[in-house]
Amino acid sequence: MVSPLLSGLAGSAVPVNPKVGVIDIENTLSTTPAGKRANEAFEKTRKTKQAALDKSQEELKKADAELSKQAAVLKPEVLSAKRQELEKKFVDLQQTYVKLERELAQDRTKLIQGLLKQAEPKIAAIAKAEGVHLILDQSATVWMDPSVDLTQKLNAEMK
């Protein structure tokens, strides 16, 4: 006797020999006009944030050098207070650095998601034309036969 639940599986739409394709989204990001535009916008943001961080770091270095010059003439308690203030600024700068790194990682994720959203209908059309049932990003594969790489077809479609 066959279970009524299992009998429904016999007519399911799962292909007998599913065909898999692979794309390299990093390649698409770095070589296509759409990817280059997205990368340029990301780099502009990254450079702006890095410049602000560099400026803060330079100001902190100058303040430390100035305090070192004044160390001989300052009272010990004043020197200690100024040194603590500098250390607090240094900790704040480190926290800002970590925050900016996290923001940049989020920005990069959004950039890739945006590119994938733009590429999704193109990927679907390529999959349909190639008879592919599943497309993976190359970064998620351990090994692949080069014949399943659909990156160049996607890149040709990305404007």
Which pLDDT band holds residue 5 (cuts at 50, 70, 90)? very low
Rounded to two decimals, what is the model's pTM? Answer: 0.73
Question: Which residue, among 57, 80, 54, 58, has the nearest Cα to 67 in the 3D structure?
Answer: 80
Question: What is the Cα–Cα distance from 138 to 135, expressed in whole angstroms?
Answer: 9
Question: What is the Cα–Cα distance from 128 to 149, expressed in whole angstroms?
Answer: 15
Residue 98 has pLDDT above 90, yes or no: yes
pLDDT value at position 14? 73
pLDDT digits over 144-156, tens only? 999 999 999 999 9
Give the pLDDT mean for 133-142.
94
pLDDT value at position 83? 94
Map tokens 């040709």 to a residue.
156
Q: What is the mean pLDDT of the chain?
A: 90
Question: What is the Cα–Cα distance from 44 to 35, expressed in whole angstroms?
Answer: 14
pLDDT value at position 12? 57
Residue 7 has pLDDT above 60, yes or no: no
pLDDT value at position 2? 45
97: which residues sit within 8 A by CB, 6+ positions away? 53
pLDDT value at position 11? 52
pLDDT value at position 15? 77
Give the pLDDT mean for 3-15.
54
Burial 128-144 (b: 16+ CB within 10 A, else e): eeeebeebeeeeeeeee
pLDDT value at position 13? 66
| Amino acid, res. 103 | E
More confidently predicted of 118 and 17: 118
DSSP secondary structure letter of residue 132? -
Question: Any idea where the domains of the chain sit in the sequence?
Answer: 4-157
